[in-house]
Amino acid sequence: MTENELAALSIADLQSLLRRREVSPREVIDALRERIEAVDPDIGAYLSLDIEAATKEAEHANVDLPLGGIPIAIKDIINVMGQPCTCASKILHGYRAPYDATVIQKLRAAGAIPFGKTNLDEFAMGSSTENSAVKSTRNP
């Protein structure tokens, strides 16, 4: 399976491969990083990535958990400890979350691996990213 194919799989398909030990969580993170590097400059979906932290989490992921080893992108309005959380606003540039939001705690408990923050309208005031203070996201 190529990295492009791996990065395009659904959560259910990824879970099957991970649980059968046909791929490792680290391989999934690596494939996702490659795909983001190739495509995101044209799309602009990500405001930040923390592949290094995700790779460390992937090394000890329990793939038998409900979301074990599954990488997940988070909207940039939800706190992920240590990651930027700008709410797509320039006023919060440089802010890093001091804690995990409850939803992130629950996702981590289920085995998910947060790896990056995605764009949105500034402070979630809209639905198209046309009001993001950082950049617009293009529909792929």
Per-residue pLDDT reduced to its tens digit, 60-100:
999 999 999 999 999 999 999 999 999 999 999 999 999 99
CB 126 within 8 A of CB 119: no
d(CA 64, CA 76): 28
Instruction: State the pLDDT confidence band at 18, using cuts at 50, 70 and 90.
Output: very high
Across the range 3-26, mean pLDDT stands at 95
